[in-house]
Chains A and B, each alone.
Chain A
Amino acid sequence: MILYLMCFALFLVGLYGLLTKRDLIKIILSSAIMGYSTNLFLVLFGYRRDATYAILTPNNSGQAMVDPLPQALVLTSIVIELGITALLVALAIRLYQKYGTFDITKMRSLKG
């Protein structure tokens, strides 16, 4: 239970950075931290004490294994996160082209 709460604390760290920081790069990093905490949470759901990884090798046949389903889910989640991060970086570069800064408080004009 304490591990899940620490995952949630990590999520809150990302949320805090997303809401309070002014720099676009820091906002992107905060959204990445939120994603990582969610991935960690999902992987921890599949964890079993004293179990091996969920791949059959000659050494670990017959032992208890961790649940591979959250791991497969998290692999997809990592790819989607990568796409989101690339999109955010592209948007940040475009905003830098337009305004010459990464500070979101200086991006005030809606057009022109």
Chain B
Amino acid sequence: MKDSHGMTPIVKTVTRVSVWLILLYGCYIILHGHLTPGGGFAGGVVIALAFLNVMLAYGKSFTAEWLNIRLLKDIEAASITLFLVLGLLGIAFGNAFLANFLGKGEMFSLFSSGTIPLFNIIIGIKVALSLFLVVWVLADIDSAKGGDL
């Protein structure tokens, strides 16, 4: 099957396997952000690179079918509101903005340290979608055509 979009079949076949491993690694870094080096930002960058891997290997039209770009834009805009809500819950239940009002749990276990993993997840979503959408929008510009964007 000859497809004019994207790269060679070798790259596509490798991408089909590797993109899920990259996504899994990004989720691992985000979820273990309060235990090991890494966190929301680093894991978010890894997840964004997984999406960009698909975009480079398969081309933009396939990626637009695979991912719902409008939904991703909405999630990207809404995630920072979630951050604000979680910070305001710190005022409601704790004593300050961004206060850690949940139970701290056992030290060095995965489900511990209160709201910090939740903030890591929110930041991970925000960073992943922001980075991906920046490159997406830049790749959307038709460089041959002049005029307004």
Bound Cα distance A90, B98 (Å):
35
Q: Is A105 at the interface (CB under 8 A from chain B)?
A: no
Bound Cα distance A79, B131 (Å):
10
Bound Cα distance A96, B141 (Å):
11
Question: Contact string, A33-57, partner B, CB cutoff 8 A, digits 1/0?
Answer: 0000000000000000000010101
User: Given A57-B35, A58-B108, does the pair A97, B141 have CB atoms closer than 8 Å?
Assistant: yes
Bound Cα distance A7, B132 (Å):
31
A98 touches B138 (CB 8 A): no
Find the B residue at minimum CB distance from A97.
Answer: B146
Q: Is B58 at the interface (CB under 8 A from chain A)?
A: no
Number of interface residues of B (CB under 8 A): 16
Q: Is A89 at the interface (CB under 8 A from chain B)?
A: yes
Within 8 A of B (CB), among A1-54: 53
B138 touches A89 (CB 8 A): yes
Question: Contact string, B7-41, partner A, CB cutoff 8 A, digits 1/0?
Answer: 00000000000000000000000000001110001
A98 touches B35 (CB 8 A): no
In the complex, which residues of chain A have a beta carbon less than 8 angstroms from the beta carbon of B149? 94
Q: Is B71 at the interface (CB under 8 A from chain A)?
A: no
Bound Cα distance A52, B146 (Å):
53
A53 touches B37 (CB 8 A): yes
A86 touches B41 (CB 8 A): no
A75 touches B41 (CB 8 A): yes
Within 8 A of A (CB), among B130-149: 131, 134, 138, 141-147, 149
A90 touches B146 (CB 8 A): no
Q: Is A65 at the interface (CB under 8 A from chain B)?
A: no
In the complex, which residues of chain B have a beta carbon less than 8 angstroms from the beta carbon of A58? 108
- The 6 A-B pairs of least Cβ separation, nearest first, read A97-B146, A86-B134, A93-B141, A96-B143, A58-B108, A55-B37
Q: Which residues of A are at the interface with B, using a C-beta cutoff of 8 A?
A: 53, 55, 57-58, 75, 79, 82, 86, 89-90, 93-94, 96-98
Offer 22 A-B interface pairs, CB within 8 angstroms, sorted by A. A53-B37, A55-B35, A55-B36, A55-B37, A57-B35, A58-B108, A75-B41, A79-B41, A86-B134, A86-B138, A89-B138, A90-B138, A93-B143, A94-B141, A94-B149, A96-B143, A97-B141, A97-B142, A97-B143, A97-B144, A97-B145, A97-B146
